[in-house]
Amino acid sequence: MTGAKLLKMNADFLEFLYKKFWMKLGASEEHAKAFARGISMGDRQGKLYQGMGVMEAALIPVEGGIGDLTTEPELISEGPTWSVYNGNRSTGYYTITKMTEKAIEKAKEYGMAISFGYNHVDAGSFFTYTSLALEHDMVAMSSNNSLPLSAPFGGMDFVMSVPPFDAVCPAGEQLPLVTSTKLCEGYDADITEALLKDGKLKAKLLVDPETGELTDDVRPYSKLIEGYGRVSDCSAPWIFSNPRLYSLNIWNEFMTAIINPKGIVSSDLPSQPSDYFKPDSPTPVGGSYIMVIDPSKFGPISNVKEKADRYISAIKGCKKRPGVKEIYTPDEWGLEKVYRQESPMVDVMEDHLNAFKGFLEKYELNYDVLKEEWEKENN
């Protein structure tokens, strides 16, 4: 159970480390701040693969020469309610933060707006961006596509993305309504976790690319990428266990890439994480979007919040099935940690921390020295 061992860490200290690390690699302070906030958001939500571990998805393209931390995302075109950003091979953390700020600005004037992005690398937890809209009492939804690690429903080839999806709606006395999920069965991180344990997934969710047989055993198809704690290659694609998830994945593709004027569809991207060590590869994200809606343009925001509270109360007050102690709204447990938990202590996986300490050492940063610096600043 090596991969499942958890350690308690101070999220504020970790965010400080992330910022220092990204600036060491060449990012501006503004970029490093956006990156650190995004990684930390995953930690604070209790999402082990969207916190510290997910930085490897941004680091691999940077170390492979595909990502560039010295560039600035560029607004290349816009209209009253839309904008398009070229990430210039920067991170999604920086690019989508700028996309969100622009969409919020336009939604304040016109009621709703959408920003598209392309040519950037990973973006981590998308609540990082939708939560910015929540700060303005706005609704938002956001995603990007990714390298194609999934086969279509009934298929055997690497064709479809393994995307995140986040949507938010403000509430009043209740926690906001948040949908934070993945529109796939699994990520490369799930392959890694299985490799570090007993080699088995929770169900037969991989398809043998030669025989078409379904399997839960990752060992014949996958291998760890040396020096990393989260990322693995795998020659067997993920399947979709039901057509609903398959349909949502396709919807997400036309939002992130097909209607995105500069987007690249996931089926045109390389399918293995290690492919992104090759300098001639495209970025591992073909396209992204964030849509922001300002409900106060259509009626009183107090009405929106009251209805949201009433809806949430109806869900949580629903008669429970035998053995069920409490009914939760989606992602409520993560929101509790972000909005209502006073302690900054969060869980991180030991393997992720060991890998991160290795990155710090590789780039001549000393973990203990940085810890002393942070403690002096915060005491």
Q: Does residue 222 sit within a domain?
A: yes
Residue 4 has pLDDT above 70, yes or no: no
Report how far Cα 164 is from the mean position of its chain's Cα atoms: 6
**pLDDT tens figures, 166-185:** 999 999 999 999 999 999 99
Which of 161-170, 219-228, 324-333 is most confident? 161-170
Judge contact between 123 and 38, C-beta under 8 A: yes
Average pLDDT on 208-229 reads 92
Q: List the helix and strand counts (H, then E) for the chain.
A: 11, 13
Residue 286 has pLDDT above 60, yes or no: yes
Report how far Cα 86 is from the mean position of its chain's Cα atoms: 19
Judge contact between 184 and 205, C-beta under 8 A: no
**pLDDT tens figures, 50-82:** 899 888 889 989 998 999 999 999 999 999 999
Q: Does residue 120 sit within a domain?
A: yes
Number of CB atoms found within 10 A of residue 220's CB: 12
193 pLDDT band (50/70/90 cuts)?
confident
Q: Does residue 90 sit within a domain?
A: yes
Q: What is the pLDDT of residue 273?
A: 87
Judge contact between 282 and 267, C-beta under 8 A: no
Q: Does residue 336 sit within a domain?
A: no
Q: Does residue 239 sit within a domain?
A: yes
Q: Does residue 307 sit within a domain?
A: no
Judge contact between 272 and 147, C-beta under 8 A: yes
Q: Which amino acid is at 198?
A: D
Residue 322 has pLDDT above 90, yes or no: yes
- What is the total count of domains within the chain? 1
Q: What percent of the chain has pLDDT over 70?
A: 99
Q: What is the pLDDT of residue 91?
A: 97
Report how far Cα 98 is from the mean position of its chain's Cα atoms: 16
- Please tell me the distance from the alpha carbon of residue 344 to that of residue 342, in angstroms, as a whole number: 6
Q: Does residue 11 sit within a domain?
A: no
350-354-359-360 Cα dihedral, nearest 10 degrees: 100
- Please tell me the distance from the alpha carbon of residue 231 to that of residue 305, in angstroms, as a whole number: 40
- Please tell me the distance from the alpha carbon of residue 128 to that of residue 145, in angstroms, as a whole number: 16
The residue segments making up the domain with residue 192 are 63-299+341-345
Q: What is the pLDDT of residue 83?
A: 98
* Summary mean pLDDT of the chain: 94
Helix pair 29-45, 92-110: axis angle to 10 deg = 90
Q: Which two tokens stand for residue 135?
A: 């700060």
Candidate from 258-262, 321-325, 332-336, 357-361 with smallest mean pLDDT: 332-336
Residue 128 has pLDDT above 60, yes or no: yes
- Please tell me the distance from the alpha carbon of residue 290 to that of residue 86, in angstroms, as a whole number: 14
In angstroms, the Cα distances linking 332 to 176, 182, 193, 240, 265 are 9, 16, 24, 26, 32
Q: Which two tokens stand for residue 46?
A: 């209790």
Spell 6-33 as b/e; 16+ CB within 10 A means b.
eeebbbebbbbbbbbbbbebebbeebbb
Q: What percent of the chain has pLDDT over 90?
A: 82
Candidate from 93-97, 231-235, 276-280 with smallest mean pLDDT: 276-280
**pLDDT tens figures, 8-22:** 999 999 999 999 999
Q: What is the pLDDT of residue 1?
A: 36
- Please tell me the distance from the alpha carbon of residue 186 to that of residue 196, in angstroms, as a whole number: 16
313 or 50, higher pLDDT: 313
- Please tell me the distance from the alpha carbon of residue 35 to that of residue 94, in angstroms, as a whole number: 7
196 pLDDT band (50/70/90 cuts)?
confident
Average pLDDT on 117-130 reads 96
* Predicted model pTM: 0.93
Q: Does residue 34 sit within a domain?
A: no
Residue 2 has pLDDT above 80, yes or no: no
Residue 3 has pLDDT above 50, yes or no: no
Residue 225 has pLDDT above 80, yes or no: yes
244 pLDDT band (50/70/90 cuts)?
very high
Judge contact between 185 and 202, C-beta under 8 A: no
Residue 188 sits in a domain whose CATH number is: 3.30.1370.60
Q: What is the pLDDT of residue 365?
A: 96
Tell me the pairing of strands 288-293 and 82-86. unpaired
Q: Which two tokens stand for residue 281?
A: 């590869």
Number of CB atoms found within 10 A of residue 195's CB: 19
- Please tell me the distance from the alpha carbon of residue 36 to that of residue 14, in angstroms, as a whole number: 8
Average pLDDT on 24-52 reads 94
- Please tell me the distance from the alpha carbon of residue 361 to that of residue 318, in angstroms, as a whole number: 52
